[in-house]
A and B are shown apart, each in its own frame.
Chain A
Amino acid sequence: MIGLVHYLVFAGILFCLGLFAVLTRRNAVTVLMGIELMLNAGNVNLVAFNRFVGSGVNGQIFALFIIVLAAAEAAVALAILLNIYRTYKHITVDEIHLLRG
């Protein structure tokens, strides 16, 4: 039978894959997608804990809030990316250092 531990380990692997994408990839869109992956891993944890441990629906409510926040974050970040692209004609995160002192 699938228990809470299976879901937690699955979410942990998903989170580490997202972290790996954030750390290795140089395309800014892919970095953002890694962040989305990490947010989703957190969501799996919330829903799994709500199902197995909690008694109410708080975990599900938090998951809903995280989905909304991820939507807002993605919209703002992608707008900033389009502005960066307009300035640099690329979105390679290694070569963007306008704000470096």
Chain B
Amino acid sequence: MLVPISFALLALLALGGALMLLFRRDPVDGVLSLVVTMLALAGIYLQLADPVVAALQVIVYAGAIMVLFLFVTMFVRRAEERGPLGWDRPRFALASIVAACLLGLLVQAIGAFGGNTPTHPGPPAEIAAIAHSLFGEFLYPFELVSALLLVAMVGVVVLGRRGEESS
């Protein structure tokens, strides 16, 4: 009984944060509501017996990435971005249709697929198993990701540098 209630609460919290992102004009509100979504998702990962991804979700997503978003948002925010959201009607209608169609297709696919899925989870994975897999089977992708992070870091430093020709 406890699990369904906590899942419902966490899912509502996550979807509420996402809706706040959609319907608030001020991007700072959007970042803060997205932090709520990320923390709720960490709770859902914990519920799925996955403490490693949950911890990284809090540290990397809710911590690092969202703080980066917050800084950049505050750099580029303009005063007229407060107040109510002015919707562009044709765009709103088109986007609603696209998103609703996609959701319908997804739910239909999940329903068609859901007949033969287990409803009871297997045993939770050990953290040691994740470490063995990450540093054994997935060693090359792991090293590639570290190279990618280095490239991204150098790229960001180059991009962030003020060009000589600009004032």
Contacts and interface: CB of A to CB of B under 8 A. Distances in A.
Interface of A: 1-10, 12-21, 23-27, 29-30, 32-34, 36-37, 40, 43-44, 47-48, 50-53, 55-58, 60-61, 63-65, 67-76, 78-83, 85-86, 90-91
Contacts of A90: 76, 78
Nearest to B124: A51
Given A14-B18, A23-B91, A79-B156, A91 B76 contact: yes
Interface residues of B, number: 80
A20 B22 contact: yes
A85 B76 contact: yes
Nearest to B91: A24
**Closest 10 interchain pairs by CB?**
A3-B119, A23-B95, A12-B106, A79-B159, A72-B152, A17-B18, A5-B114, A16-B103, A16-B99, A20-B99
Contacts, number: 222
- Provide the main secondary structure of the chain A interface: helix
A51 to B, nearest CB: 5
B146 to A, nearest CB: 9
Interface of B: 3-4, 7, 11, 14-15, 18-19, 21-22, 27, 30-31, 34, 37-38, 41, 44-45, 48-50, 52-53, 56-57, 60-61, 64-65, 68-69, 72-73, 75-76, 78, 81, 87-88, 91-92, 94-96, 98-100, 102-103, 106-107, 110-111, 114, 117-122, 124-125, 129-130, 133-134, 138, 141, 145, 148-149, 152-153, 155-156, 159-160, 162, 166
